[in-house]
Amino acid sequence: MTTTTTTGTTKVYRVYIKATPQTIWDAITRPEWTRRYGYQATAEYDLRPGGSYRARAIPEHQQAGMPEILVEGEVIEVEPPVRLVQTWQAAWLDEPATRLTYEIAERGDGISSLTVTHELAGAPQTLAQVDGQLEGAGGGWPEVLSDLKTLLETGRPLHG
């Protein structure tokens, strides 16, 4: 189940996954995992404060007109496998970078929660995009998190 709350321009998404915090952490930060769910972008992290983040489009998406680097950011805080804070800026939108926080907590019985908080002040187009509000632009965080949950629990993504 995915829960979404909104406070002004901050969106909070929570999903419960039958997986360990380390498995979820790896799925968020390792390119061999990120290529398997969501928009299939390959994540490149320099996991230290001040390190860079890039989401690289797969060749099929580049051939369809998407830029090679879809999203860029800077790592702010790193506490594996429970917390990652970074900036997040979509290449195709002319808006300031936003702040993205991943928090992973072990709940017991092999279940962990993943909470994604996206602070989107001053970025209304980014907010609409990541919240899945734009027709034909994908389902945003709700779809990405559902896909991640499905992949980790079944070994297969939602689509494909």
CATH number for the domain formed by residue range(s) 2-38+78-154: 3.30.530.20
CB atoms under 10 Å from CB of 160, counted, come to: 8
Question: What is the DSSP pairing of strand 52-56 with strand 42-45?
Answer: antiparallel
The model scores a pTM over 0.75: yes
The one-digit pLDDT tens for each residue of the chain (160 residues) are 445 555 579 999 999 999 999 999 999 999 999 999 998 999 999 999 999 999 999 998 889 888 999 999 999 999 999 999 999 999 989 999 999 999 999 998 999 999 999 999 999 999 998 998 877 667 889 999 999 999 999 999 987 6
